[in-house]
Amino acid sequence: MSRIDAARRVGVSPRFSRKTIGDLFGDVFSLLFGFIMNTIDLVITPIQRRIGIRRMAYLFLVPNMLIFSIFVLFPMLLNFYYSGTAGTKLFPEDRTWVGTENYQTLFDCEDFTDPNSCNEDFFWRAVSNTVVFVIFQVGGLVLLALLTALILNREIAGRGFFRSVFFYPVLLSPVVVGLIWKWILQRHGLLNGLLETFDPERDATLFLLERNWAAFWVILVSIWAQMGFYTLILLAGLQSIPAVLYEAGQIDGANNWQSFRHITLPLLMPTMFVVLVLSLIRAVQVFDQVFVLTGGGPGTATKYMVQYIYETGFINQIPRRGLAASASVLLGGVLLVFTLFQLWLGRKSEVT
Amino acid sequence: METIRNFLIRKRGGSRVDLTDFLTYLYLGAGTLVMFGPVVWVAISSFKTQAQLIEFPPRFLPYAQETIEIAGYDEPLPLFLVTVNGEERELAQVRRVGIEAQMIDPEIPLAKPGRPSQDEVIKVNIDDRKKVEKVKLALENYEDPLEKFKFATYLKNSVIVTTVATIITLIINSMAAFALSKYKFFGRDAIFVTIIATLMIPISVILVPVFLVITRLNMNNTLWGVIIPGAATPTGVFLLRQYMLTIPDDLVDAARIDGASEWRIYWQIILPLACPALAVLAIFSVMWRWNDFLWPLIVLSRSELFTLQVGLNAFQGELQIQWHYVLAMTVLTLLPVTMVFAFLQHFITSGIATTGMKG
């Protein structure tokens, strides 16, 4: 239903015959588009005559593959080489090969449970912060998104409106989100103001300057900013469950909880896994919002993996790009595991 | 009455409103407050004067002290509410000496303009006066910083990056998806598997080497350096390919028999039919590019090339948090997105809901 809807809105089949300014733009656009495409056709058709229809596939792939190889594939391979070099020079030919030294530096720890005992203690702080962040952020995010999706799936007035309400923060840029919450959480901010009206005796809390509070708010703010996206996906999953099943359940005497437990949850599982993996992958890369909100502080309380890579490779006075590259190889490895996991799950759910 | 209630609640069979309905609307109401509240609060705060921003606890609306022009004084004088001899009067403050404020009554004209005599001045302890205030928007928050925060330039850069990148993304990804979904050729599966494998590897993981490539190609500190690297997004190819697989091959074959060139098949048959998927990719691309922060932050170091996000970040860092300016510029930055969303919200949410499933 909504796909048809979307198609109609894109302009596949205009609903109104009356010409609007939008239609005029559309006409001009399609004229221009047709002209450009026809011109390209003049160039491409002779090529097609020479190489044959089947090899045209390569021609269609060229632009994408060119950019993909230069800016994704090649850098990825280069990253491995880079992680084995040291020095402050940028270009690989100027750098000295040191083998696994960077990795040894990263893993040079007396006791892996205590970041302080490590040579590269910032890295391990970042790792442990990221693990804590991922667990609580993803957990909270999935639970809240599920709850919201379930509520939006009820027979309520103004569902479209509320769906948009919860989605709105997703569109805000991380910098804007960071600044908005920095303003609310600061010493003389709205939150302290509200808390004081309930309890005038209370001293203002420095939410962003106390370690635990900062870590807590970073998680909450990122849930706030992302929840709407996953709510939408879960809601779509819920709406694709046929109503017949619930009616059948009712006839069999299932109560609300039982139909949730035995119909909704199992059928929502594939969607839940998509949401889980997508949010995991994003949570591991947490950076920008937090960078604006706390700058990684207080101390290193909210410094995460990507910020470690960014600072080590670009910001520090003596950039240690080799070290940054090896840290990102490790991060990439974690993400790859999540991706493969998702693909494996996707295949499994396709089979069943 | 019954119909109105049924319309509002839209319950199946019009049964009674029960506790769960109440909780539902409570949740939705609280949700609206939590989701919109912070943005609204920032928008209101951005109209407050610097003096009012440090007021604690904060008040909801922006206020400013009322002033009055009096002959003989260059600056308008601030108005205060003062109780003199048990009678409340609105007085203008001429001068303040220590804890004593010297006031005059604006209703009574001075004998010598600008120089009140001892009889005309009313002396008040500064703790006994109250500011006369009215709701007033501090528009200077928006006007003053525009010299430093080059909103027009940043906006232009952001618009260029977002539009060009989205157009390139749509074209090259749909071409690749067309090849991968409608042809059989040597190496197809290898290419597709490679794309899938990199589906979730974001640019933040390969920061250092991509920066190196950019520098080699002299794209450092150019908008192209921001636009190009993310253009061949695996997500886009994947999304479009999956959609194009649902377009019947017979259409393509029929067009070939009619003598259409491959390029014509691509743009006159496949592209229009793939419109819903293209629209979703366009939404994603616009969202990614408009909000992108880390990569432009690394590539761009000249302020005339800054995108809105990088510009806003630099602005807030530079000013040691002069909140009255930062807030106003934050509002300017979130305004375009909010307006687009207000018009296209149904289209955006339903688009993502349909294809998000497959992604």
What CATH number is attached to the domain comprising A210?
A: 1.10.3720.10
- Chain A CB contacts of B179 under 8 Å are 56-58, 60-61
Task: Answer yes or no: do A232 and A311 share one domain.
Answer: yes
DSSP strand E in chain A: where?
A: 85-86, 96-97
- Chain A CB contacts of B290 under 8 Å are 173
- Residue A88 belongs to a domain: no
Residues whose CB falls within 8 Å of the CB of residue B107, separated by 6 or more in sequence, listed in order: none
Point out the residue among A196, A274, A314 whose CB comes nearest to the CB of B57.
A196
The nearest alpha carbon in chain A to B52 belongs to A188
Alpha-carbon distances of A56 from A37, A239, B173, B260, rounded to whole Å: 16, 41, 16, 13
Task: Answer yes or no: do A164 and A307 share one domain.
Answer: yes
What string of DSSP letters covers B10-62?
--GGG----HHHHHHHHHHHHHHHHHHHHHHHHHHHTTS-HHHHT-SSPPSS-
State the ipTM, two decimals. Answer: 0.79
- Residue A69 belongs to a domain: no
Task: Answer yes or no: do A269 and A166 share one domain.
Answer: yes
- Residue A347 belongs to a domain: yes
Q: Is A192 on the interface with B (CB under 8 A)?
A: yes
- In this predicted structure, the answer to whether residue A13 has a pLDDT above a threshold of 60 is no
Cα dihedral A141, A145, A146, A148 in deg (nearest 10): 140
Q: Tokens for B66, please give them.
A: 């009322």
The nearest alpha carbon in chain A to B203 belongs to A72
- Chain A CB contacts of B27 under 8 Å are 147-148, 151
Residue whose entry in the numeric block shows the structure tokens 């010493």: A187
Which site among B263, B298, B332 would you substitute to test the A interface, given the most A Cβ atoms closer than 10 Å to its Cβ?
B263
- Looking at every residue in chain A, the average pLDDT score rounds to 82
Task: Answer yes or no: do A34 and A130 share one domain.
Answer: no
Q: Do B42 and A73 touch (CB under 8 A)?
A: no
Task: Answer yes or no: do A296 and A203 share one domain.
Answer: yes
Task: Answer yes or no: do A286 and A155 share one domain.
Answer: yes
Phi, psi of B236 (to 5 degrees): -65, -45
Task: Answer yes or no: do A131 and A248 share one domain.
Answer: yes
- Residue A165 belongs to a domain: yes
The nearest alpha carbon in chain B to A187 belongs to B56
- Residue A331 belongs to a domain: yes
Partner residues linked to B343 by β-bridges: none
CA dist., res. A204 & res. B282, Å (int): 45
- Largest interatomic CA distance in chain A: 85
Total count of domains within chain A:
2
- Chain A CB contacts of B253 under 8 Å are none
Q: Tokens for B98, please give them.
A: 């220590």
Per residue of chain B (359 residues), what is the pLDDT tens digit?
A: 455 554 444 444 445 567 777 888 899 999 999 999 999 989 988 888 877 777 777 777 777 777 777 777 777 778 888 877 777 777 888 777 777 878 887 777 777 777 777 777 777 777 777 777 777 777 777 888 777 788 889 999 999 999 999 999 999 999 999 999 988 888 888 888 888 777 767 777 788 888 889 998 998 889 999 999 888 888 889 888 888 888 898 998 999 898 888 899 999 889 989 888 888 888 888 888 988 888 999 899 888 899 999 988 888 877 666 788 888 888 988 888 888 888 887 777 777 776 654 43
Orientation angle between helical segments B19-45 and A159-171, nearest 10 degrees: 40
CA dist., res. A16 & res. B169, Å (int): 30
Phi, psi of A242 (to 5 degrees): -65, 135
Q: Do A168 and B349 touch (CB under 8 A)?
A: no
Task: Answer yes or no: do A23 and A117 share one domain.
Answer: no
Q: Tokens for A186, please give them.
A: 């600061």
A136 pLDDT tier (thresholds 50, 70, 90)? very high
The nearest alpha carbon in chain B to A67 belongs to B232
Point out the residue among A157, A163, A164 whose CB comes nearest to the CB of B9.
A157
Task: Answer yes or no: do A26 and A146 share one domain.
Answer: no
Query: Which of A15, A36, A51 marks a domain boundary?
Result: A51
Task: Answer yes or no: do A28 and A152 share one domain.
Answer: no
The nearest alpha carbon in chain B to A37 belongs to B267
- Residue A300 belongs to a domain: yes
- Residue A150 belongs to a domain: yes
CA dist., res. A334 & res. A282, Å (int): 12
Q: Do A292 and B348 touch (CB under 8 A)?
A: no
Q: What is the number of other CB atoms lying within 10 angstroms of the CB of residue A249?
A: 18
Which of A15-29, A166-180, A296-310, A318-332 is the least confident region? A15-29
CA dist., res. B273 & res. B340, Å (int): 25
Q: Which residue has the higher pLDDT, A36 or B3?
A: A36
Range 105-134 of A in CB contact (< 8 A) with B: none
- In this predicted structure, the answer to whether residue A45 has a pLDDT above a threshold of 90 is no
- Residue A285 belongs to a domain: yes
Residue in B96, B113, B179 with CA at minimum distance from that of residue A64: B179
Domain housing A30: 7-51
Task: Answer yes or no: do A13 and A159 share one domain.
Answer: no
- In this predicted structure, the answer to whether residue A8 has a pLDDT above a threshold of 50 is no
- Give me the pLDDT at residue B161, please: 94
- Chain A CB contacts of B353 under 8 Å are 2, 232-233, 235-236
A134 pLDDT tier (thresholds 50, 70, 90)? very high
- Give me the pLDDT at residue B3, please: 54
CA dist., res. A124 & res. A129, Å (int): 8
Task: Answer yes or no: do A287 and A197 share one domain.
Answer: yes
